[in-house]
Amino acid sequence: MKQRGIFEKHTGSGIWWICYFDQFGKKRREKAGTKSVAIKLYGKRKQQVLEGKKLPENFRKPSVKLSQLLDDALAYSKRNKRSYKTDIPRIASLKDWFGSHPAEELTPKEIENVLGRAADKEKWAPSTFNHYRSLMSLCYRLGILNRKVTSNPARSVTHRREDNNRVRFLTEEEEKKLRKVIEGKWSLHVPELDLAINTGLRKGSQYSLTWDMVDFRGRMLNIPRTKNEEPVHVPLNDAAVAALRVVHARGDGKGRVFQSEKTGEPLENGRHWFDDAAIEAGIKNFRWHDLRHTFASRLRMKGAPLEDIADLLGHKSLTMTRRYAHLGPNKLHAVVSLLKPSDTTSDTGERDASSGITQVVVQ
């Protein structure tokens, strides 16, 4: 039901205004925020008018540009988020698209339309769209906390469904082709490939490794903080140890494990060589994260229990690990084979010649 004196300037925005006449008959409008706040503010102003109290000359705060909120979000990311380096270019893009807009005038529809066009143009995965949506929402949440805005329109932007059941792994033939290309053009990066395939580490965890996390004697990687904000201990097989030994022999064994041979700066990812290598090897629809799938899939095909694979991947539950279940021995075949033909019909069953139906006599 419509309520007198309050309205949304942009339907569906979640930002409510009030409209009333002061004691001199002058029509006034004022942005309130949420609907409940608007109802209370409208009642307060009407009471002030009835009592003849002087109303504030200027109700509206100076308009806050979204660029200010984006700057706050980037500063927050630097202090608190592991994804800070990937947030930098994303926030730069958001500034290009929305920076000059007054933050409280943006509607969910406008945000969704702009992100949708960018997704179509750049062929984003659903997860990429959701990352941008989350950054916008973070901006507004911090803005509300800092009392710069009163609502968060990004919350109403539709979250895109991600295909978390995707399993893409290297076949033996594909691995041979990929290795041939990498050994020919990017031979210094072979240990990075070997470590990824033999540990299943996420890209961020692998390239954040420091030598103090590597225990050669115990054949273990001790990572204090992962994507799940928990420590993980990754056992090393012979191939993983050999890869780390090769890298260790190149430097002084201090700081980050993977560093640029040219500049000595830490490497953040393998994008500058891996993507090109996969294309040159003719491997389609393959990304770095699929090396993690390769590790888990090969273990499952060797008969490793899902519980063990989950522990190695650092999954908190088996929900994510079950995507690999079909690759291993299927116990359900043994379960259904417990039913024999003799279990479905009685020895005294008689076939009706006219209907072709077996009549079962239950004794």
Q: Each residue of 285-319: pLDDT tens digit?
A: 899 999 999 999 999 988 889 899 999 988 888 87
Radius of gyration for the alpha carbons in the chain, expressed in angstroms and rounded: 30
Q: Report whether 109 contacts 8 (CB < 8 A).
A: no
Q: What is the DSSP string of 92-141?
A: HHHHHHHTTSBGGG--HHHHHHHHHHHHHHHT--HHHHHHHHHHHHHHHH
Long-range contacts, 242-249 (Cβ 8 Å, 24+):
242/194, 243/190, 243/191, 243/192, 243/194, 243/195, 243/198, 244/191, 244/195, 244/214, 244/216, 245/216, 246/190, 246/191, 247/191, 248/211, 248/214
Q: Report whether 332 contacts 343 (CB < 8 A).
A: no
pLDDT of 50 over the 50 cut: yes
pLDDT of 344 over the 80 cut: no
Most confidently modeled range among 38-47, 236-245, 292-301: 236-245
Q: Is 173 exposed, middle or buried, given 0-12, 13-18 or 19+ CB atoms closer than 10 A?
A: exposed
Average pLDDT, the chain: 86
pLDDT of 363 over the 70 cut: no
Q: Please give the order of strands across the beta sheet that includes 27-33.
A: 6-8, 16-21, 27-33
Q: Each residue of 269-291: pLDDT tens digit?
A: 998 899 999 999 999 989 999 99
**Tokens 């608190």 found at:** 80
Q: Is 33 exposed, middle or buried, given 0-12, 13-18 or 19+ CB atoms closer than 10 A?
A: middle
Length of the chain in terms of residues written: 363
Residue 262 identity (one-letter amino acid): K
In this prediction, residue 79 carries a pLDDT of 93
Residues 6+ apart with CB under 8 A from 361: 346, 348, 349, 350
Q: Report whether 98 contacts 118 (CB < 8 A).
A: no
Residues 6+ apart with CB under 8 A from 363: 346, 348
**Residue 31: strand pairing partners:** 17
Q: Each residue of 129-171: pLDDT tens digit?
A: 999 999 999 999 999 999 899 899 999 999 998 766 667 889 9
Q: Report whether 324 contacts 307 (CB < 8 A).
A: no
In the chain, alpha helices (H): 35-50, 66-80, 84-98, 108-122, 126-145, 172-185, 190-199, 203-207, 238-250, 271-280, 289-301, 306-313, 331-336, 341-344
Percent residues over pLDDT 70 in the chain: 88
In this prediction, residue 255 carries a pLDDT of 93
Residue 140 identity (one-letter amino acid): Y
Mean pLDDT throughout 234-250?
96
Give the Cα separation of 20 and 7 in Å (integer). 11
**Residue 30: strand pairing partners:** 18
Q: Report whether 296 contacts 309 (CB < 8 A).
A: yes
